[in-house]
Amino acid sequence: MTVEPFADFPESAEFKEPDPAVARERMVINEMERMQIREEARRRIAAESSTVSELPALSTLADRLAAPRTRPRWRIQDMWPAGGRINLVGAPKAGKTTMTTNVVRALVDGGQFLGKYTTEAVPDCEGPAVVVFDFEMTEDMLLDWYEDAGITNTHKVETVLLNGLGSGFDFTNPAVRAELVNRYGGAHTYILDPVGPLLASLGLDENSNSDVQRLLTAWDEFVRELGGQESMVTMHAGHNGERARGASAFLGSCSAVWTLMREGEEPGAPRFLKTMGRIEGMPKTRLAVQGRTLTILGHLTPEKIADAKGEQILDYLATVCVWQGRDRIRSKVGGSQPTVTQALRELVDSEQVLHDNKKGYGLPHWSS
């Protein structure tokens, strides 16, 4: 007996297109279920990793004020409060890695940070006192940088190379965090350098305040579980190089934000540092760069910055010997538009430079 396939189906069955509104509603419901599942998973993970037993007991202010305070107030005078976290923001090629190695040297050797700020060296630990989790450098590059930094107590420093290994360093996951604590615990200070690649590896968005705050909060908890007392998180700058790239959460929940800036693209372009946060803060200040060592040159007012930029403009015009527009000058000498504009205005007012509406800016002897 032969059975015809699909014999029970009518010869010309009509295919009915689904109602778009119904299909959309079904998609919305499915997405809501997925979001609810993710939220429930986060809640359960948070419950499993909660450490209520580690929370401090009640204590009156009178008792706390009467208790002896043995920890120094500052790790780095006026810049890094003892027990705090620093967020270091670096513009491209402004010297973020150099600043990090200078910080490490000050932490383990003590002395004057940036040639000015007294540093209380971190106490000795059974193992390394400072651990740097590096997500950016190759081993040879990192070793070159730290060798040039001239650190005396190198035995107190451990560098962990994690370039391309960020997904395995998920300290937001309780199981992974426990393993990391077992492996790297016991140091005094921990440095995460930089945070961007780790965010990307964990599928977190650096432009999302909730993602960034979640990671930074988990980092603080992680450092505490490691037994650390202080930490630093470095990040790349955006927004014209004057604040952290991405979410504004990078600027909060820390003791201080240090921002490294650079004016110009040439190798010798001037570097600047400013600080803000739960400290007095330091205005934009010029740094001197000698090899891998940074030192403070002093606070530069807008007038002083314009004077220095004016000297660069004069040198540039004397070199090219051709009338130049303002934008062309700025692209060659670097600096912000207000700084270059002020410098040019002062040069014209002092008759060191001529201005022609058609030709631009030139030196006085060119008109003769």
pTM of the model as a whole: 0.69
Q: What is the mean pLDDT of residues 265-288?
A: 86
Q: What is the predicted pLDDT for the residue at 173?
A: 92
Residue 249 — pLDDT band, cuts 50, 70, 90? Answer: confident
Q: What is the predicted pLDDT for the residue at 39?
A: 75
Q: Percent of the chain, pLDDT > 70?
A: 87
Residue 232 — pLDDT band, cuts 50, 70, 90? Answer: very high
Contacts of 346 (CB under 8 A, 6+ apart): 306, 307, 310
Contacts of 218 (CB under 8 A, 6+ apart): 171, 172, 177
Task: Evaluate if residue 159 carries a pLDDT over 80.
Answer: yes
DSSP class of residue 171 equals T
Transcribe 272-328 into DSSP letters.
EEEEEESS--EEEEEEEEETTEEEEEEE--HHHHHHHHHHHHHHHHHHH-S-B-HHH
Q: What is the predicted pLDDT for the residue at 245?
A: 63
Q: What is the mean pLDDT of residues 308-317?
A: 84
CATH class, range 74-300: alpha beta
Residue 78 — pLDDT band, cuts 50, 70, 90? Answer: very high
Q: Is the peptide bond before 10 cis (omega within 30 degrees of 0)?
A: no
- Residue 200: name the closest of 167, 237, 245, 174 by CA: 167
Transcribe 205-264 into DSSP letters.
-TT-HHHHHHHHHHHHHHHHHHT-SEEEEEEEEEGGGTEESS-GGGGSSSSEEEEEEE-S
Average pLDDT of the chain, as a whole number: 86
Q: What is the mean pLDDT of residues 302-319?
A: 79
